[in-house]
């Protein structure tokens, strides 16, 4: 028998841990029961903390039926699992996640939303602990990565829910209605930012019968806005260069935003609802709605600020609070996708499962993978911060071409066994049949 032939011994089981989320008011869970079944087909053993899916509407029995092992002890999850899957972790859960960072150990892999640019110091702490971490916010905007794109899936939910939040608080109805008691004029919505959240907000507001305007610095989105039946506000200013942003919104200078705000005043003072979605990953949100603009809005109007967690697009926004200023309700609710936990968990679970299967097939978290998806999302490995953007934020020198942040003798994340690879391929093929959510095929831009 050839020495190169695969062994008849089964590949060692890879253990993946899914602990309960600890971020305040977080109701999502990293994977749904259907994802457990997908991973089981790939030869992965899933450990789920008891009650992890309950806030999202997934019972423990559903996970057990899908093949997961329920574990009551959180410490045991972190001790036994080689890979930890979370929704908000590291820099995206600074205070409540501190205990979990102490539980992580050398050689362990962490995958989730990490907020690695604003939480760069925490990523350095993970590196010091010898943890390999992948930040899903850093996924490149390429076609191959669409099924893993957590920002797009969660932003879509945020845009949808933002309109419902506005409609629930608005002291008027959204559609035009012609009745014996007279004609009711439709509500007027203004959506700031026409990326994933913005486009979903436009579509939802139109379904409710509102008149919708939208504005975005990227001229390329005009056709998408018009195709949804909204009106696009054109402002003759220097536009954001789409080709340089990788699909994400770019940060502009303050003079640009000042002239932009002046141009938007006429629409804002006639708007019943503003849905603000403009955000730049890793940066403070641009201030688009000034106190003066709020003062000129109709009494009883609503602002839903989806950028509240990163500072807000409205000057008066208070994160986590709903306030009334000058007769205008300003909603600073953060983490809006967590308010629709069943489907946001389902979509997030599909994203992270697809990413994990992709990672297990590649199997070499060395920072120099030929695969753009893994190379761009890998933040820490081998005791170092290896992501160029995070290193720049920390003021660290660039890694030279020969440096990977890991020794050349590092073992692959998975055992190089042909049968494991085959099972992963099969699981990736089968998983779409087990999920009722279908990810969009177009390459959407990021706004929230």
Indicate which residues carry an active-site annotation: 141, 146, 149, 152, 248
Measured distance CA(198)–CA(249) in Å, rounded: 12
* Token reading at 6: 């695969």
The torsion region of residue 444 among left (phi > 0), alpha (psi -120 to 50) and beta comes to beta
CA distances from 43 to 110, 204, 247, 403 (A): 19, 40, 35, 32
Would you state the structure tokens that stand for residue 312, as one six-digit string? 């807000």
The contacts of residue 276 (CB under 8 Å, 6+ apart) are 192, 193, 288, 289, 303, 304, 305, 306, 307, 312, 313, 314
Distance of CA 327 to the CA centre of its chain: 33
Measure CA 285 to chain center.
16
**8 A C-beta contact, residue 150 and residue 351:** yes
Tallying the residues shown for the chain, one arrives at: 448
223 vs 228: CA distance, rounded Å = 9
Q: Are 446 and 152 in contact (CB under 8 A)?
A: yes
The closest of 314, 325, 279, 300 to 158, measured between CA atoms, is 279
Q: How many CB atoms lie within 10 A of CB 401?
A: 7
Distance CA 68, CA 198 (A): 37
């Amino acid at each position: 028998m050839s020495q190169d032939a695969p062994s008849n011994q089964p590949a060692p089981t890879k253990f993946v841990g899914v602990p309960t989320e600890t971020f305040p008011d977080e109701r999502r869970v990293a994977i749904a029961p259907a994802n457990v079944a997908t991973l089981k087909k790939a030869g992965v053993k899933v450990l789920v903390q008891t009650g992890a899916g309950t806030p999202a509407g997934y019972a423990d029995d559903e996970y057990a039926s899908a093949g997961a092992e329920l574990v009551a002890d959180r410490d045991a999850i972190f001790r036994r699992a080689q890979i930890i899957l979370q929704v908000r972790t590291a820099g995206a859960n600074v205070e409540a996640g501190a205990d979990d960072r102490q539980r992580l150990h050398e050689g362990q892999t962490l995958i989730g939303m990490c907020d690695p640019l604003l939480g760069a110091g925490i990523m350095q702490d993970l590196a010091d602990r010898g943890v390999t971490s992948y930040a899903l916010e850093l996924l490149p905007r390429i076609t191959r990565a669409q099924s893993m794109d957590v920002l797009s899936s969660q932003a879509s939910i945020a845009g949808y829910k933002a309109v419902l939040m506005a409609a629930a608080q608005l002291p008027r109805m959204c559609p035009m209605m012609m009745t014996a008691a007279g004609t009711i004029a439709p509500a007027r919505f203004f959506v700031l930012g026409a990326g994933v959240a913005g486009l979903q907000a436009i579509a939802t507001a139109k379904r409710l019968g509102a008149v919708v305007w939208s504005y975005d610095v990227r001229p390329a989105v005009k056709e998408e806005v018009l195709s949804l039946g909204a009106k696009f506000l054109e402002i003759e200013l220097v536009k954001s260069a789409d080709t340089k942003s990788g699909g994400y919104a770019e940060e502009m200078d303050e003079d640009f935003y000042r002239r932009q705000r002046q141009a938007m005043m006429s629409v804002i003072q006639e708007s019943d609802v503003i849905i603000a979605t403009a955000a730049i990953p890793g940066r403070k949100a641009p201030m688009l709605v000034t106190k003066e603009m709020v003062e000129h809005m109709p009494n009883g109007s609503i602002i839903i600020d989806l950028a509240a967690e990163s500072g807000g697009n409205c000057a008066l926004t208070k994160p986590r609070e709903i306030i009334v200023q000058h007769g205008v309700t300003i909603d600073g609710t953060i983490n809006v996708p967590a308010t629709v936990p069943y489907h946001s968990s389902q979509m997030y679970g599909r994203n992270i499962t697809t990413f994990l299967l992709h990672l297990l097939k590649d199997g070499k978290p060395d920072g120099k993978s030929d695969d753009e998806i893994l190379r761009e999302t890998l933040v820490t490995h081998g005791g170092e911060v290896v992501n160029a953007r995070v290193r720049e934020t920390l003021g660290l020198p660039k890694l030279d071409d020969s440096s990977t942040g890991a020794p050349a003798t590092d073992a692959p994340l998975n055992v190089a066994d042909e049968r494991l690879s085959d099972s992963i391929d099969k699981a990736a093929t089968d998983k779409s049949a087990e999920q009722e959510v279908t990810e969009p095929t177009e390459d959407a831009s990021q706004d929230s």
